[in-house]
Amino acid sequence: MTPSEVPFSQAAENNKGPILQVLQQHCQAPGTLLEIGAGTGQHAAWLSAQLPHLQWQPSDIPDNLPAIHHWLSQTPNPAKPPLALDVTGEWPTGPFDYLFTANTFHIMAQSLVAHCIAEGCQRLSTTGLFLVYGPFNYDGQFTSDSNRQFEDWLKAADPQRGIRDKEWVEKEFARHGRQCLADHAMPANNRVLVFG
Ligand SMILES: C[S@@+](CC[C@H](N)C(=O)[O-])C[C@H]1O[C@@H](n2cnc3c(N)ncnc32)[C@H](O)[C@@H]1O
């Protein structure tokens, strides 16, 4: 991969510190963590190095694996080589102690988010946690003008994309026996929802 081909996310650089603080709070016990939709791999490379007690398994659709391999190779970190995981396909057996996903629920179609929650919860240990970073609406309302504009941008790219209602996400998790244990405000009108 030549330097010009390496994908880079400024947002991932900006949010990795605040996300780390939440993971440090909720993921104190050593264990296995499956990251869904790891994107460029910047989160996996940096967060896994800060949290060496976690066995960090990044995953994404096959097209994204070269970038993740690249980012993991650039710094010392304990993350495992990335796994090909399209949430519509076959999942690793698990169980995992933690599932983590950032900025995927507004990219996947709503039915796919429901599927991801169902499959993920099946692979989560009984006491495991599923942590979801991204923008959410509350009672059908945007939390900021910038999120409303972001929604328009998402829909223009693909009408199936969209910011999900926290209450809907909560209901989907509840169908699989997991409750919302924490809801952390993050910079730039994002949240981390913690289910377990
Ligand atoms: C906006 S990016 C977020 C990437 C990264 N987590 C971050 O926060 O920078 C959305 C990610 O969701 C992944 N994704 C979309 N559909 C998916 C699917 N069906 N299965 C697994 N990952 C998917 C994309 O490949 C992409 O990496």
Q: Are 141 and 134 in contact (CB under 8 A)?
A: no
- Overall domain count for the chain: 1
Within-domain flag for 47:
yes
Atom of ligand 1 lying closest to residue 15 CA:
8
DSSP state of 191: E
Give the whole-angstrom CA distance, residue 104 versus residue 66: 19
107 domain residue, yes or no: no
Task: Kindly report, residue by residue over 165-193, the tens digit of the pLDDT.
Answer: 999 999 999 999 999 999 999 999 999 99
Please report whether residue 5 resides in a domain. no
4 inside domain: no
Q: What is the CATH number of the domain that holds 138?
A: 3.40.50.150
Atom 9 in ligand 1: residue holding the nearest Cα: 12
Domain assignment present for 139: yes
Q: 36 C-alpha vs ligand 1 centroid, how far in Å?
A: 7
**Full domain range(s) for residue 141:** 10-21+30-85+95-102+112-195
- Cα Rg, the chain, nearest whole Å: 16
Quick check: is 36 in a domain?
yes
Per-residue pLDDT of the chain (196 residues; tens, 9 = 90+): 777 788 999 999 999 999 999 999 999 999 999 999 999 999 999 999 999 999 999 999 999 999 999 999 999 999 999 999 999 999 999 999 999 999 999 999 999 999 999 999 999 999 999 999 999 999 999 999 999 999 999 999 999 999 999 999 999 999 999 999 999 999 999 999 999 9
Domain presence at residue 187 = yes
Let me know if residue 38 belongs to a domain: yes
Which pLDDT score, from 0 to 100, does residue 81 have?
Answer: 98
The DSSP 8-state label assigned to residue 187 in this structure reads G
